[in-house]
Amino acid sequence: MSVLNNSRGDTARDTTRDAARGASRTPGPRKNFSAWANRHRKWLFAAPAMIFVGVLIVFPLAWTIYLSLTDSQGSVRAASEFVGLENYLTVLSDVERFWPAVGRTLTFTGVALVCEVVLGMGIALLLWRPFRGEKWVRVAILLPLVATPVAVGMMWRLIFDPNIGFVNQLLGMIGIPPQPWLSGQDTALGTTIFMDIWQWTPMVVLILLAGLTSLSEEPDEAARMDGANAFQRFFFITLPLMMPTVIVAILLRGIDALKTFDILYATKGKGGGSFHEVETLNVYAYGLSFDYNQYGLSSAVLILFFMIIIITMWLLTMRKKAVSK
């Protein structure tokens, strides 16, 4: 057996064949089953999980596509008619709810991501070299990350409350008049973005820190010898080397940010508030489905939303490939 030059998969297959051969020498139902199981372990291991996910995804996804082509509403069980692409036309020409929701989704994701990556990089750099009390800082970083988003939403509701909230109290001390925060039509989205930044910057920190610690010290050392200052070393050495990790962080955070639901629904409730101030695509689609039972329309929104997510991911993956080269 030429194990040395083989790729992983081949090695495994060769040994399987040996095992099967060994089993066939001493026949018996149990041995036969074990030989069969070993030979097919690739699919035996992978299939249950894939079938589980497949059934729970493929079927609903197909159903959603079907629903998006019908005028289903009220109850999914009620008779519905096939209307072709009408729902898509309705949605795409809807400048009151759909397009603003797209705008809010992209604003929310874009602003939150930029802030989280910049802040996250800063904090990761602060934590990069060991220091005393590092343990406690790491604990502090972990706490927002694991906190239940709905509870976090409630917490911020109290802190940002216009009358009794601590934020306005603090601002009052330095003479700034109270702001409406979550209850303001213009300030609500920004406030929820702030909450997202508070909760998820730690995630970016952890990813970037893992990237930083896996960097080799030599390029940085060499630049130091050549007299480069800290800023030069960061922008010309560390950052380019970190780009693949930065894009992974953006990818992982971006997917979740686009789909943010919990804190928005917990702080502003149905429809993203009375003026739909924080109604992103996910909140809009949820409302259409479960608060207004407009299944046909909501399915069309969801398919379009899903396409936005896929395109964003695809662009980022392309970018990552370009950077990794």
Partner 1 sequence: MTVLNQTTDSRTAAAPAPAPRRRKPLATRAYKVFRVVALIAVVLFLVAPLFWMLLASFKTNVDIYDTGKSFFFTPTGENYANVLQRNNYFVFIFNSFWVAFVSTALSLVLGVPAAYAMSRFTMHRSALVVLMARVIPGVSLLVPWYYVFSNLKMVGGFEVLILSHMFVALPLIVYIMMSYFDSMPLELEESAQVDGLTPIGAFRRITLPLSVAGIATAGILSFIFSWNNFMFALVLSGSKTKTLPVAIFDFVSYASIDWGGLMAAATVVTIPIMIIALFTQKYIVSGLTAGATKG
Site for partner 1 in 29-68 (CB under 8 A): 34, 37-38, 41-50, 52-54, 56-57, 59-61, 63-64, 67
Q: Is 179 in the site for partner 1 (CB under 8 A)?
A: no
Smallest gap, in angstroms, from Cβ of residue 47 to partner 1? 8
Q: Which residue has the tokens 């980022």?
A: 316
CA distance 324 to 182: 41
- As given in the structure block, the two tokens for residue 230 are 């800290």
Q: Is 181 in the site for partner 1 (CB under 8 A)?
A: no
- As given in the structure block, the two tokens for residue 286 are 């949820």
Near partner 1 by CB under 8 A: residue from 24, 32, 169, 317: 169
Q: Is 210 in the site for partner 1 (CB under 8 A)?
A: yes
Q: Which stretch binds partner 1 (CB under 8 A): 86-94, 182-190, 233-241, 297-305?
A: 297-305
Smallest gap, in angstroms, from Cβ of residue 227 to partner 1? 13
Smallest gap, in angstroms, from Cβ of residue 315 to partner 1? 14
Window 219-278: residues binding partner 1 (CB under 8 A): 230, 244-245, 248-249, 252, 255, 259, 261-262, 265-266
User: What are the φ/ψ torsions at residue 70 (nearest 5 degrees)?
Assistant: -120, 170
Nearer to partner 1, 94 or 224 (CB): 224
Smallest gap, in angstroms, from Cβ of residue 82 to partner 1? 17
Q: Is 188 in the site for partner 1 (CB under 8 A)?
A: no
Nearer to partner 1, 210 or 322 (CB): 210
Smallest gap, in angstroms, from Cβ of residue 235 to partner 1? 17
| Cα separation values, 200 from 10, 42, 54, 116, 120, Å | 42, 37, 30, 7, 9
Q: Is 73 in the site for partner 1 (CB under 8 A)?
A: no
- As given in the structure block, the two tokens for residue 317 are 């993956």
Q: What end-to-end distance do the CA atoms of the chain give, in Å?
A: 35
Nearer to partner 1, 103 or 122 (CB): 122
77 Cβ partners below 8 Å, 6+ apart? Answer: none
Give CA 217 to chain center in angstroms. Answer: 31
Q: Which stretch binds partner 1 (CB under 8 A): 93-101, 212-220, 232-240, 271-279?
A: 212-220
261 Cβ partners below 8 Å, 6+ apart? Answer: 282, 283, 286
DSSP string, 125-164: HHHHS--TTHHHHHHHHHHHHHS-HHHHHHHHHHHT-TTT
Near partner 1 by CB under 8 A: residue from 73, 111, 171, 198: 198
- Judge whether 283 and 272 are in contact, CB under 8 Å: yes
**Longest C-alpha distance within the chain, in Å?**
89
User: What are the φ/ψ torsions at residue 3 (nearest 5 degrees)?
Assistant: -65, -35
Q: Is 162 in the site for partner 1 (CB under 8 A)?
A: no
Near partner 1 by CB under 8 A: residue from 112, 113, 206, 237: 206
DSSP character for 274?
T
- As given in the structure block, the two tokens for residue 66 are 């079907």
Number of residues that bind partner 1 (CB under 8 A): 109
Nearer to partner 1, 189 or 208 (CB): 208
- Judge whether 208 and 242 are in contact, CB under 8 Å: yes
DSSP string, 13-56: HHHHHHHHHHHHHS--HHHHHHHHHHHTHHHHHHHHHHHHHHHH
Window 95-154: residues binding partner 1 (CB under 8 A): 122-123, 126-127, 129-131, 133, 136-152, 154
Nearer to partner 1, 3 or 95 (CB): 3
Window 6-25: residues binding partner 1 (CB under 8 A): 8-9, 11-12, 15-16, 18-19
